[in-house]
Structure 1
Amino acid sequence: MDRDTYEMGLSVIKKAGVEHEINFIQSPALSVLDELLEDHENRGSFDFAFVDADKDNYQKYHERLWQLLKVCGIVVYDNTLWYGTVAMPEGSTKEELKPNRLHTVEFNKFLAVDYHFQISQVPLGDGVTICRRL
C-alpha cells in the first residue's frame, strides 16, 4: 500500500530490466485480487507473489493467488513464524502478539494440508514460507 517503498526500490527494478513486468497497484489487496480474477486471462499467468499484509486475511490471499499463479509459480508469505510465537504455548506469548499468533498458526496449518502447493518454511528473520504451485 506504500508507493514510497516501491519507488525506493525502483532503481534496482530498472537496473534488473524488469520494470515492464511489474504493475504497482496501490489498493487493498483482496479487492485487487478479486478484480484480477474477473479477467480470466489472468488466471494461471503469474510467476510470483509476495504477501506481507494483514495476517487475518492470509488464507483469503492464498485462495485467490493459487488461481492466479502459473504451475510452478511461487508465492512467499512473510512473518509466518511471528516472533517465534507459533512454536510457543499460547500462555507464554505476549498479549499484543496473541491475535496475529492465532491467525499465523491457523494459516500455517492450512498451508500444511493444501495439496495445490509444495511448501518450505524458512526460519529467516520472522519466518517466510515459500509455496510452489503444483
Structure 2
Amino acid sequence: MTVNTLSLSEPLRDYFLQMALREPDILRQLREETSEHRVAKMSLAPEQGALLIFLLRLIGAKRYIEVGTFLGYSSIAAAIAMGEDSQVIACDVCEEFTIQAQSWWKRAGIEQQTKLYLDRAVETLPRLLEKGAAGQFDCMLIDADKPNYPNYYEYALQLVRPRGLIILDNMFLNGRVATPQASHPRSVAILHEFNRQLRDDQRVEHCILPAGDGMTILFKR
C-alpha cells in the first residue's frame, strides 16, 4: 500500500507558503497586481518560482530559455537567480501578454539581459539551433501549449547542456492526466502518455513534484 503524502489541509498549505517562500518584492508585486487577470493561473505559482530560483542558483546557471512567458513571472525569477551577467531568452506567441511582460522586465531592471522571440516556439527553437545554440543553455522551462510539449522537449535536449535542467509545468492538468477520458481535450491524452515517456527516458534523470499543477524536473545526462 502506498502512503498518501500529497494532501495538504488549508492551514498546512498556508503554513507551508509562509515558511517556504522568500519571494522577491518585484515577483510579489507582479503576482498580486495580476491575480485578477482572466488567465492568472497561467503564471507559475510562487512556490514554483522559489524552486526555479533555487535550482538555477544550485547549478550556477547563466543562460536560461523559456517557452511560454505570459506576464513575466518566470523570466524575472530566472534573471534574479542568475544575476546581471546572465541571459534570458523568452519565447511566446501572444503580443498582448508579452507587452505587459516587457513592462515588468523594465520595472525589474532586467530588460537589457532579456530577449523576446515573439513567434511560435516550434519555429523559434530550430532557428536557434541553426544559429549554433546547441548545448548553450543551462536550463529550459516549458510552460506553453500542451500538445507541443513532446516537440519542445526534443528541442530542449539539444539546446540544454549536459548536466543542465529541463523543467515542465502543468504536468497534471488539474488531475485529469491520471484518468484521461474521451471527453477531455486532446492535450490530456498527450500528457498522460508523455509523463510515462519522460519517466522511462534514459537520457535524463527524472523527478515530478506536486507543485502548482505538477512540475517535472529533468537533469540532462
Task: Report the equivalent of 2:217.
Answer: 130
Is the alpha carbon distance of 1:22 and 1:119 closer, same or farther for their aligned partners in structure 2, counting shifts above 3 Å? farther
Moved over 3 A (4+): 3-21
For residues 108 and 116 of structure 2, the distance between their equivalents in structure 1, rounded to whole angstroms, comes to: 16
Task: Report the equivalent of 2:121.
Answer: 29
Task: Report the equivalent of 2:171.
Answer: 80
Amino acid of the residue matched to residue 33 of structure 1?
Answer: L
Amino acid of the residue matched to residue 197 of structure 2?
Answer: F
Identity within the alignment, %:
31
For residues 111 and 162 of structure 2, the distance between their equivalents in structure 1, rounded to whole angstroms, comes to: 23
Is the alpha carbon distance of 1:48 and 1:6 closer, same or farther for their aligned partners in structure 2, counting shifts above 3 Å? farther
Q: 3-state SS of the aligned residue for 1:72?
A: strand
Is the alpha carbon distance of 1:77 and 1:116 closer, same or farther for their aligned partners in structure 2, counting shifts above 3 Å? same
Task: Report the equivalent of 1:60.
Answer: 151
State how many pairs are aligned: 129
Is the alpha carbon distance of 1:5 and 1:74 closer, same or farther for their aligned partners in structure 2, counting shifts above 3 Å? farther
- Unpaired runs of 5+ in structure 1? none
For residues 45 and 16 of structure 1, the distance between their equivalents in structure 2, rounded to whole angstroms, comes to: 25
| TM-score calculated relative to the size of structure 2 | 0.51
- Unpaired runs of 5+ in structure 2? 1-92
Alignment pair present for 1:105 and 2:192: yes
Is the alpha carbon distance of 1:46 and 1:21 closer, same or farther for their aligned partners in structure 2, counting shifts above 3 Å? farther
Amino acid of the residue matched to residue 141 of structure 2?
Answer: F
Give the structure with higher Rg (CA). Answer: 2
